[in-house]
Structure 1
């Protein structure tokens, strides 16, 4: 049930009727006609821009169209009033039975209320985290993991078929550095002193890996040149790091469907096939790029390279795909990896990266657009930095990692649910200050607590009602006489429930799961506000002297708790049954 879509359909039907009567021209394009919540709730329950967007093509004054449209809408039993405002906006007030039916509908559908078929089963690949396999995940990876996982759940909720994917960057020089770092720990496991050159990974998390390598190979690699042990240690270390990363993700409740390896692209012909696909389109050529902006001539030497004509698809410059020594640039396997995803039949690709990948966006979008002739869209979401605070000071490093705060540290400090919710309290491309102290505070200023408290409050009411012998099953409450839910505060809360299906579709379409967190806070605020009014107005209390009356009053908060549970489910947060 999407009430906004239903009322928009009514508006379109009324416009068709006006056209049939000759009051409007036939064939008007109504694609931009919208029905939305008004900016000021005092103006009504909904507003439509129909008269404003149709005035020019209809060659009529907006207000004249609105005044003709209003009585058509008011003829419908759902519409209490349609009022023309300003130059031609139309504010709509809905009849009380509409809100009562919303509550009953939520109770009948449970946490499925708001689920959408908008995605129509489209196959979407969401790639997220994809951290270099060189150590534990840090607080920045945590944000990307939560965002990507919530986005995947949101897309599933809105009717998409989603694959969660992690791309293992195991083909670059950083895994050689990892192997050398693990070899140092292996030497230490044999009680040997070692040097730690700048750029290696001296974190304590590699101690156990070095000891495990010793257990596996004994002293076979002692006093051996690098070419003897590097390849084997690299594989051993990468596997160990991926086990560590999987364990970190499990702490957040993140489970990937697919792990893809960069290294697996080399020597298999996959990179060559992807580049050949671009070459067939005339997009690969030999050329010389202009010097980078801001570089002095003596700092740069022109050289002919193999280039991808990415400027044909919106990039700023064409991009090298081969280095001067004939090896592939880092961009080439990335092209091949995305080509592989398109070959697997996905209708849409989404990549979630850290803020430092901003320069990557245009070139990768260009490559995917070129490979698929624009058929498969690629959306790249960048997550900005997270600053972890406690007691007014920034937390800067972990004892385990040595240089940064780990994902495990954050979850240990505040728990999985708080971590996930807080990471979604800002839009992904806005910096986030994660205040550990505030995240554990029991106040309205802590959105996690405020939303959880709303759900727990309702559960408390339901427990007390059961003790009084009231049937509070969702089916029973849906069948209760809800005609008494007429107070403005009750109807405002029901109206907020009605926004949920629309919010889901907007958030899924824009790939913005933070909208769910914002909505839940507003819904919780409405529940708490109604609860507080009951302290002074006995008629608004959820538990009344008459059991039948209680059932009607309990129906609304029960519906709220169901939507909160559904929204928290998308965010990967368990709803609280009680507050401790």
Structure 2
């Protein structure tokens, strides 16, 4: 709805601009004022016009307001200093909005862009840990946001099956007699992680084993030893299966898992290296590399080792070339420690391959406060441990607040709240900022994600208590929304615009703020306004239903479940 009334406001401004004898750039949008007392939509057009009229922005804004014919959906237009602000007539707008909101509310029209989004892509040598989770949560939330904003999105996980870490695991199995099934653990990826630790220690202590790892890498890349291939593939597939379980518990599913080995087996890596050589961009000094000093990059890009095997970076280059054939935009989510590698890939794509370079969003690392999970002190914290801890803490909080509930009732709530707390807390900060995960903030029923989930559950309970079929109800023609109702309508109406703005910026943290604002407006309405038994019962039930739908759809962007009971 905001899109529609924004268009009316822009048209009204343009008609007023027609009355001036100067030209200004009319490719402008409106924004939300920081305070509803300043209106519902605001324009900064006066700043552009003042350059032509040679007078102050407040004077220009005042003169422009006098020329604007106020569209019927607005009650007035007023200038506040240099800003031109439109006030919605909520007695007309509210009914129109509530009629528009359905289960697909927030879904924008097709944008005409296909995006290949790679995220997570952790090495399959053990379980996912807290160092990976920001990548997974941001990547998945961004994918959900972009889809809602009309983009066609494919998500991929790039599986590093040819890396040294996997070869160390295989060496542990083939040379040291280690067996995955001999290790403790409920999940296969945890077992493999423990095997990797022991195998890596053995390799560090024995030079002969270190040489064996190099030999295994070479043989697996050649691909002629079918028995060895099977061992590599089995280890990777088993570890990935465990990782998938952890991701699924976090409501994260990838469309494709692309193994890097396929680019070696298909000859694409060799073809790419040969092309770069043929074009004269390589040098050879023991290893084959691209000298990037002419592009202000000091570190060379190695294509082949001295023994002829490829590197992760070479295979990654072939993978990016493949991704470029699948969509209009290739988007990578990478830790800030990958900035050099991403810069190298960008230069090679633009200057050597003459193709559009991948877009990259970097994120800073996430840590836990010291001692917050002392059972694993001194070691990495797995995603499974983090989820279990969050669910356990949520369970205790629910039980203390609702002693009448039994374990069967508490368990699914605790899972939804615990997982939601992790996803929401990590998503709420811009990826460029370092993040320390704080349990008390994440699991707060007053300020955290649980407070938003509770608003949804409250709405569900109220609608169920009414006993009415919401689809059979209509908004009263006599309804003139009061202040609390107006604020809730205003927040609901913002949702599609927030989706578009966040998708254009490729960021999700403002979605978390929107969820908090929406839930806050609903809770204020819920506490101050009688619904069941009031003269406006049907209208207010519809308003509650639309708020519930919008909360659910907004939380879905973040991969957070909106429970019906809490």
Same fold (TM over 0.5): yes
Partner Cα distance (1:575, 1:202) in 2: 30
Cα deviation, 1:399-440, whole Å, max 9, x if unaligned, reads 9xx932111112222233333223212222323332345544
Counterpart check, 1:29 vs 2:25: yes
Paired residues of 2:123 and 2:160 also in contact (CA < 8 A): yes
Paired residues of 1:81 and 1:92 also in contact (CA < 8 A): yes
Partner Cα distance (1:132, 1:512) in 2: 25
Residue 285 of structure 1: how far off its partner (Å): 3.7
Which ranges of structure 1 fall in alignment gaps of 5 or more residues? 193-200, 211-224, 289-302, 535-539
- Paired residue secondary structure (1:393): coil
- Paired residue secondary structure (2:49): helix
Say if 1:206 and 1:120 are closer, same or farther in 2 by CA, change over 3 A.
closer
Paired residues of 2:129 and 2:381 also in contact (CA < 8 A): yes
User: 1:390-539 residue pairs with structure 2 within 5 A?
Assistant: 393-395=371-373, 398=376, 403-413=379-389, 414=391, 415=415, 416-441=419-444, 443-445=445-447, 447-466=448-467, 470-473=468-471, 476-477=472-473, 479-481=474-476, 483-532=478-527, 534=528
Give the number of aligned pairs. 510
Say if 1:109 and 1:545 are closer, same or farther in 2 by CA, change over 3 A.
closer
Say if 1:94 and 1:316 are closer, same or farther in 2 by CA, change over 3 A.
farther
Partner residue of 1:268? 266
Q: 2:283 aligns with which of 286, 301, 316?
A: 286
Say if 1:191 and 1:308 are closer, same or farther in 2 by CA, change over 3 A.
closer
Residue 575 of structure 1: how far off its partner (Å): 0.8
Partner residue of 2:206? none
Partner residue of 2:117? 126
**169-178 or 265-274, which moves further after superposition?**
265-274
Counterpart check, 1:385 vs 2:365: yes
- Paired residue secondary structure (2:102): helix
- Paired residue secondary structure (1:394): coil
Paired residues of 2:345 and 2:357 also in contact (CA < 8 A): no
Partner residue of 1:333? 315
Paired residues of 1:209 and 1:240 also in contact (CA < 8 A): no
Partner Cα distance (1:544, 1:71) in 2: 45
Counterpart check, 1:350 vs 2:331: yes
Partner residue of 2:104? 112
Paired residues of 1:417 and 1:573 also in contact (CA < 8 A): yes
- Paired residue secondary structure (1:162): strand
Residue 29 of structure 1: how far off its partner (Å): 1.9
Cα deviation, 1:523-548, whole Å, max 9, x if unaligned, reads 1011112223x2xxxxx2122344xx
**450-459 or 351-360, which moves further after superposition?**
351-360
Residue 230 of structure 1: how far off its partner (Å): 5.7
- Paired residue secondary structure (2:170): helix
Partner Cα distance (2:86, 2:193) in 1: 64
Partner residue of 2:342? 361
Which ranges of structure 2 fall in alignment gaps of 5 or more residues? 198-211, 217-224, 392-414
- Paired residue secondary structure (2:125): coil
Residue 368 of structure 1: how far off its partner (Å): 3.8
Residue 169 of structure 1: how far off its partner (Å): 1.0
Say if 1:92 and 1:191 are closer, same or farther in 2 by CA, change over 3 A.
closer
User: 1:37-52 residue pairs with structure 2 within 5 A?
Assistant: 37-52=32-47
Partner residue of 2:233? 235
Partner Cα distance (2:538, 2:182) in 1: 72
Partner residue of 1:198? none
Partner Cα distance (2:180, 2:70) in 1: 83
**562-571 or 250-259, which moves further after superposition?**
250-259
Counterpart check, 1:89 vs 2:83: yes
Cα deviation, 1:115-157, whole Å, max 9, x if unaligned, reads 112x523111111110101011112222221211111111111
Say if 1:120 and 1:191 are closer, same or farther in 2 by CA, change over 3 A.
closer
Partner residue of 1:307? 290
Residue 165 of structure 1: how far off its partner (Å): 0.4
Q: Aligned-pair RMSD on alpha carbons?
A: 3.4
Residue 578 of structure 1: how far off its partner (Å): 1.4
Cα deviation, 1:476-535, whole Å, max 9, x if unaligned, reads 34x311643421221122111121111101111111122212210111011112223x2x
Partner Cα distance (2:90, 2:558) in 1: 32
Paired residues of 2:189 and 2:240 also in contact (CA < 8 A): no
Counterpart check, 1:577 vs 2:564: yes
Partner Cα distance (2:548, 2:506) in 1: 25
Partner Cα distance (2:172, 2:480) in 1: 67
Partner Cα distance (2:88, 2:13) in 1: 19
Partner residue of 1:255? 253
Partner Cα distance (2:147, 2:103) in 1: 14
Name the TM-score, length of structure 2 as normaliser.
Answer: 0.80
Q: 2:94 aligns with which of 91, 97, 100?
A: 100
Paired residues of 2:181 and 2:191 also in contact (CA < 8 A): no
Partner Cα distance (1:75, 1:316) in 2: 60
Paired residues of 1:18 and 1:24 also in contact (CA < 8 A): no
- Paired residue secondary structure (2:476): coil
- Paired residue secondary structure (2:84): strand
Partner Cα distance (2:96, 2:293) in 1: 50
Say if 1:182 and 1:434 are closer, same or farther in 2 by CA, change over 3 A.
farther
Partner residue of 1:214? none
Name the TM-score, length of structure 1 as normaliser.
Answer: 0.79
Residue 168 of structure 1: how far off its partner (Å): 0.5
